[in-house]
Chains A and B, each alone.
Chain A
């Protein structure tokens, strides 16, 4: 299953809201996870099952979608949110990742 994320780059300011899209090449039900990557830190699982927040994920993060179209939304951006975000499908083997979205400070 190919996963296509957009945009690849996104510039925003603290306090703004942003959305990242992830599209699967075939239906994956709600078997989608979102991760955050920051330099020098282990990747962090934010959301699984399309919209379920992992323990410890701030409530300003939300996930939506099912089938082939998914969205990660971050409301009221904080400085620590500037990072790279990946989606991943786990509906079937091999698990596959999107190409990533780099969220930069405007």
Chain B
């Protein structure tokens, strides 16, 4: 059974940093592109980042480019999101998601972790 479990969320002050983790199991992690998607309170879904199987290629929307870094450790079947210079508008539930083989949608999602950016 595919499982994605996020951790590392919490309350953080504007301008500070936070690192999210996602532990994957039930599939060969190194074979799949992975992603982070977020959902601000009462808002829709927003794609945040995608990483290739080896980690050599990463993709971001303009809203987080230069502030967020997605990475992975295939030996540990883990995905990460380093978030720097956090803003109040980054407040959201962050989901770890799997891309099916080289496709742009998401076939499995975690249950999410909440990040609140507030002073």
- Could you tell me which A residues sit within 8 Å of B by CB distance? 31, 33, 35, 40-45, 48, 54, 86, 88, 90-91, 93-100
Q: B110 — nearest CB in chain A belongs to which residue? A: A42
Query: Of the candidates B45, B95, B105, B111, which one forms a contact with A45 in the assembled complex, judged by CB atoms under 8 Å apart?
Result: B105
Question: Once A and B bind, how many residue pairs between them come within 8 Å at the CB atom?
Answer: 52
- The reply to whether B103 and A98 contact each other, CB–CB distance below 8 Å, is no
Q: CA A54 – CA B109 in complex, angstroms? A: 14
Query: Of the candidates A33, A54, A86, A93, which one forms a contact with B44 in the assembled complex, judged by CB atoms under 8 Å apart?
Result: A86
Q: B107 to chain A: which residues have CB within 8 Å?
A: 45, 48, 54
Chain A min CB distance to B99 (Å): 9
Chain B interface extent, by class: 10 to 19
B66 at the interface (CB under 8 A from A): no
Q: CA A54 – CA B104 in complex, angstroms? A: 14
**Inter-chain pairs besides A94-B59, A96-B47, 19 sampled, C-beta below 8 Å:** A35-B106, A42-B108, A42-B110, A43-B95, A43-B109, A44-B109, A45-B108, A48-B103, A48-B105, A88-B45, A88-B105, A90-B104, A90-B105, A93-B59, A95-B105, A97-B47, A98-B44, A99-B44, A100-B44
Q: A95 — nearest CB in chain B belongs to which residue? A: B47
**A-B complex: 9 closest residue pairs judged by Cβ atoms:** A90-B104, A33-B105, A97-B45, A43-B109, A94-B61, A42-B109, A99-B44, A95-B47, A90-B105
Chain B min CB distance to A48 (Å): 5
Q: A47 — nearest CB in chain B belongs to which residue? A: B105
Q: CA A95 – CA B108 in complex, angstroms? A: 16
Q: Could you mark each residue 4-39 of chain B with 1 if its beta carbon is under 8 Å from any beta carbon of chain A, else 0? A: 100000000000000000000000000000000000
